[in-house]
Structure 1
Amino acid sequence: MKLSKIITACFCFTLLLMSTQCDDDDVVNVPCDQTAIVDSGFYESVESHVYEVGDVYFNDNCLTIEISASGCDGNSWSMVLVDSGNIAESSPEQRYLKFVLNNDEVCLAIVSQVRSFDLTPIQVAGSSEIILNIEGFPEPVMYSY
């Protein structure tokens, strides 16, 4: 009788253990807030309001940036990431981008926001990484995909 209880307990424990394992199919990708724009004319002509960069990091194909700027609450801000359309033929290839903030808020407070941009449109076919030269950033950023 004791042996059957031990075998039953081991079987239940094994089932419980197997049900808690991770499954790669369960991974859910969170979409980016916006998509990077590739437009050489817009890149050359657009002007941005002043902002400061707090943090920049990658989450899959999203480039996330934390910015601070003067404003009331930041609800009216719009921001885009625009690529010049030029690809420097180096190894790895290089792209030229800039963040453009439109901020018409007239307040003296400093407001922070986090935005993310899908970089899929700037990926280079046949490559798995590119160097991003982002205007206003002191160092180039490596993007691997």
Structure 2
Amino acid sequence: MKQFFVLLLFMGIVTVSCKGDDSNCCPHPDPTNCNKFSVIDETKYSQTDTSNYTITNVVLNGDCLEITIGASGCDPNNWDMNLFVSELIVETNPAQYKTKTELINNEACLAVFQKTVSFDLTTLQMPGANQVQLTIEGWNTPILYQY
């Protein structure tokens, strides 16, 4: 009987320990079709180095901005990319965000690869407007994001 209560107590603890906000325990589906979210952060934008890659293509696909980069490395599957957006909005018509792509690549191989990552832009939507322009460091053509 004592073992039964210990087992019951253990089952109760395991059941209660799984909370809905714990992504390791109870996965939630990603609300977008993009790979990652864009991040509005002036400090990270200012500190982002863009010299370790070349942007080879940029495509706006709905709310997703797809950025293709080329860089040397061993395996692009090991790369991580982020899109940082300056908090300082350029007051033009339409309003303009400055962005930088960060490539995290800790490999020292001489082969050159490409990788495409899409970033969700919905956090850049401005109330009372239906479009913003994105200026991407390393890409000569501004992107007009209409929503």
Normalising to structure 2: TM-score of the pair? Answer: 0.74
102-111 vs 44-53, greater mean Cα deviation: 44-53
Instruction: Return the alpha-carbon distance in structure 2 between the equivalents of residues 86 and 108 of structure 1.
Output: 37
| Residue 109, structure 1, aligned to residue 104, structure 2 | no
The amino acid across from 1:52 in the alignment is T
* Secondary structure at the counterpart of residue 129 of structure 2: coil
Letter of the structure 2 residue corresponding to residue 80 of structure 1: N
Q: Is the 8 A contact 2:64 2:121 kept in 1?
A: yes
Q: Could you list the structure 1 runs, at least 4 aligned residues long, displaced by more than 3 angstroms after superposition.
A: none
Aligned match of 1:67: 69
Secondary structure in 1 matching 2:87: strand
Q: Identify which of 75, 89, 92 aligns with 2:91.
A: 89
Report the Cα offset of residue 48 of structure 1. 3.8
Which of 23, 41, 44 lines up with 2:43 in the alignment?
A: 41
How far apart in 2 are the matches of 1:81 and 1:104? Answer: 18
Q: Structure 2: where are the runs of 5+ without partners?
A: 1-30
Fraction of identical pairs, as percent: 38
Q: How much does 1:49 deviate?
A: 5.0
Give the conservation status (yes or no) of the 8 Å contact 2:48–2:100.
Answer: no
SS state at 1:88 partner: coil
Q: What residue is the counterpart of 1:13 in the other structure?
A: none
Is residue 137 from structure 1 mapped to residue 139 from structure 2 by the alignment?
Answer: yes
Q: Does the C-alpha gap of structure 1 residues 72 and 40 become closer, same or farther in structure 2, counting only changes over 3 Å? A: same
2:129 equivalent among 118, 127, 130: 127
Larger Rg over CA atoms: 1
Report the TM-score, using the length of structure 1 for normalisation: 0.75
